[in-house]
Amino acid sequence: MDRKINAELIIFDLDGTLIDSRRDIAVSVNETLEALSLPALSEELIYSYVGNGVRLLLEQAVQKAGLENGIERAVDVFRRVYPKRLLETTVMFDGVEDVLRHFLSLDKKMAVASNKPYRYVEEILNGLDMTRFFLSVKGGDSQKRNKPAPDMLNDIMSEAGVGNSASVFVGDSGIDIQTGKNCAVRTIGVTYGFRSREEVVQNLPDVIAENPAELKEIIE
C-alpha cells in the first residue's frame, strides 16, 4: 500500500497528536471528582475519555465514578481547576517540534483542530512556543459543532485556500479519523497518542504513523 500523501495543508489534532497533556488532564479530572465527593479514577481510564471535549470527558468520568446527575457542577469545577494546570507537565511529544520545523521548511500550511476549548488551546500553544507554526487554530467552541462534524476542518481549509484533495488530517483517535472522512480529507492515524492502536486501526485511516518522525516520510 502506498504510504505517501501529497498535501499542501496539514491539519493536526492537539492532545495525543502534538502534545502529551494526559497527566495534567487526569489530575484535573480527579481533583474535580474529589470536589464532588466522588472516588478518583485511574489515570489510564481518564486518558481513554480525552478527545471528545470537556463536557463529554466529564460526563464519562462523573458517571463512572457513580454520579448520574452532577455534570454541570463538574464542568464548573473543572473550568476552575484545569486552567491552573495547563502547562504543569504538558509537553510536545518527542520529535514533534522537528516534524513541524520540517514541514515549515517545505512551506506546508499547518493548522490545529481540537475539541478542547479554544482558550486552553491558545494558552498551551503559546506556552510551548508552537503558535508560530500554524496559520489557523480551532478549538471546541470555535464553531457550532465539534469533531467529528466536518465544520472545523472546512473552516480551516477555507481560511487556508486549500481544497480537501490537497489536505490531510492527523489525529490519534477514531473521532479524528471520522472527522477527516466526514469532509473527504485524507487521514493519518497516529498510534503513539492517548487512544489504543486498535481504535486507530478499526477506524481505517488512509495511513498509520507509529511515531511523529514517520509523518515526515508520509507527507510530501
pLDDT in tens, 54-98: 999 999 999 999 887 878 999 999 999 999 999 999 999 999 999
Interstrand relation of 91-92 and 19-20 (parallel, antiparallel or unpaired): antiparallel
Q: Which fold has domain 22-84?
A: DNA polymerase; domain 1 (1.10.150)
| Residues with a known catalytic role | 13
Beta-carbon contacts of residue 62 (< 8 Å; ≥ 6 apart): 33, 36, 38, 70, 71, 74
**pLDDT higher than 80, residue 2:** no
Decide if 9-21+90-218 and 22-84 have a common fold.
no
Nearest to 44 by CA among 30, 31, 62: 30
C-alpha to C-alpha distance for 134 and 130, rounded to whole angstroms = 8
**Structural domain boundaries of the chain?**
9-21+90-218, 22-84
Split at pLDDT 50, 70, 90, the class of 1 is low
CATH architecture of 9-21+90-218: 3-Layer(aba) Sandwich (3.40)
**pLDDT higher than 60, residue 117:** yes
